[in-house]
Amino acid sequence: MFERLLEQVLRRTIRKGRLDLTYADGRQVTFGTPEPGFPEIAIRFTDAKVPRQLVSDPRLGAGEAYMDGRIVIERGDVMGFVQLVQSNNRWEDKAAKLRPGRLRRWHNAAKHRIASFNRASSSRRNVAHHYDIGNALYELMLDAEHMQYSCAYWPREHMTLGEAQEAKLAHIAAKHALAPGQRVLDIGCGWGGMAIFLASRAGVSVHGITLSSEQLALARQRAERAGVADRVTFELVDYRDLAARGETYDRIVSVGMFEHVGRPQFETFFQACARMLAEDGVMLLHTIGRFGSPGKTDAFTQKYVFPGGYIPALSATLAASERARLIATDVETLRLHYARTLRAWYARCIEHREAIEALFDARFFRMWTFYLAGATAAFESGGMGNYQIQFARSRHALPLTRDYMATAEIALLKGWTARFARP
């Protein structure tokens, strides 16, 4: 019965491209029609339970079966497999997507509501789940220059990953209208790449905060090596606890952290930022975001990758910021930049497969590459993009036009101090 149901779904789903499926008993069936630009993939199920697993919860079921080696890809790779499914169901086309059954959806939704509440104690556990697995994996996957685990910026073709990440840092820094001597808060500072860039290129002092002890240790080492340890400090602290101290900053930047806040904490986050931002201060939030209306995190990502994570819609983000009386002074949507970034990370993981499996095991490698493939498909064909939202407390905090951004961006990439950025 489950084989028949699965085939009905796959016939509706796979129209362009080709999927050859071999069941555990040797029976073969083909879906779709070859077409340029769409993958041709062959997979094999190694046990008879896989069809039921896929019908019950397609995303989680496919991920777990692939992790366990019960879905084997015999032609192509996991990136192509996930791309084949998602590219036939583009968000723009409003096609019906594979969905779990009703009871499974209710179960997943209830778990998500509980997991995404993200009090300070659970936030630290959730961050540790993803980031405290050791820096070695990220050093193999990310760019060596800045160790940026967030969407790069690709203004030109044929850029390296490191060049694209530096372009992202300059793009974000330019939006702050920086001046030497200002004090900047970096919420979710990662391994210190943004803080080091700002201190070395813009002549500001930076306080970076994280909830990952692994990130904290390496960020401090990298600041020492970069020669900016006198202008950069890193601390293991929750943004809510920092706000309670009553300190203020001229500028606040947060890159790739808002996705971990959890929807119930959106207003808390912006209220905390507003309290820490000087009256003439500026804030830049860089976050993954949903196109269209709010949704929920899929069960695979919630269980294995980002527990407590939630990808916000732009509408929900702005609504929460408005209640903190922050003015959204600029909004930019990066549509395909993260897809390129993810493909670069995936390629580096494939290149370092033996090293990653030695650090963990083959099952972890399959889980990780399935996560990267699914994320890539979400940005290429699904409903995901990136938003850069600039906020200010005062309407007088920034120049009247955006011209200063382009000027500062060019200078920052050349290594000049951004003292000219303010009018």
Same domain (yes/no): 122, 222 = yes
Same domain (yes/no): 21, 119 = no
Residues in the chain with pLDDT values less than 70: 94-132, 416-423
Q: By residue range, what is the domain housing residue 85?
A: 2-99
Last-in-domain residue among 40, 72, 99: 99
| Residue range 172-203, pLDDT digits in tens | 999 999 999 999 999 999 999 999 999 999 99
Q: What is the pLDDT of residue 108?
A: 45
Q: What is the pLDDT of residue 298?
A: 85
Phi–psi pair at 222, nearest 5 degrees: -70, -35
Q: Packing angle between helix 161-174 and helix 193-202, nearest 10 degrees? A: 60
Q: What is the pLDDT of residue 416?
A: 59
Same domain (yes/no): 77, 154 = no
Q: What is the pLDDT of residue 110?
A: 47
Query: Angle CA(156)–CA(161)–CA(165) in degrees, nearest 5?
Result: 80
Query: Angle CA(146)–CA(148)–CA(151) in degrees, nearest 5?
Result: 135
Residue 358 is assigned to a structural domain of this protein: yes
CB count, 10 Å around CB of 152? 28
The CATH number of whichever domain residue 61 belongs to comes to 3.30.1050
- 380 is written with which tokens? 């290429």
Same domain (yes/no): 206, 270 = yes
Residue 107 is assigned to a structural domain of this protein: no
Same domain (yes/no): 205, 289 = yes
The CATH number of whichever domain residue 280 belongs to comes to 3.40.50.150
Q: What is the pLDDT of residue 309?
A: 83
Same domain (yes/no): 59, 196 = no
Residue 109 is assigned to a structural domain of this protein: no
Q: What is the pLDDT of residue 423?
A: 38
* Beta strands per DSSP E along 155-195: 183-187
How many separate domains does the chain show? 2
Residue 108 is assigned to a structural domain of this protein: no
- Helix (H) and strand (E) counts in the chain: 18, 11
Residue 94 is assigned to a structural domain of this protein: yes
- 112 is written with which tokens? 């998500």
Same domain (yes/no): 83, 129 = no
Q: What is the pLDDT of residue 102?
A: 53
* Beta strands per DSSP E along 237-379: 249-255, 277-290, 327-334
Last-in-domain residue among 71, 99, 127: 99
Same domain (yes/no): 90, 154 = no
For the entire predicted model, the pTM comes to 0.90
Residue 119 is assigned to a structural domain of this protein: yes
Residue 135 is assigned to a structural domain of this protein: yes
Same domain (yes/no): 83, 131 = no
Same domain (yes/no): 342, 208 = yes
List, in sequence order, every residue forming a beta bridge with 208; answer none if it has no partner.
186, 234
Residue 257 is assigned to a structural domain of this protein: yes
Last-in-domain residue among 54, 73, 99: 99
Report yes or no: 186 and 421 within 8 Å, Cβ to Cβ: no
> Could you tell me whether strands 71-75 and 40-45 are parallel, antiparallel, or unpaired per DSSP bridges?
antiparallel
| Residue range 119-161, pLDDT digits in tens | 555 555 666 656 667 899 999 999 999 999 999 999 999 999 9
Same domain (yes/no): 345, 370 = yes
Q: What is the pLDDT of residue 271?
A: 98
Query: In whole angstroms, what is the distance from residue 26 CA to residue 1 CA?
Result: 17
Same domain (yes/no): 68, 172 = no
Report yes or no: 420 and 408 within 8 Å, Cβ to Cβ: yes
Q: What is the pLDDT of residue 94?
A: 67
Q: Give the SS3 label for residue 330.
A: strand
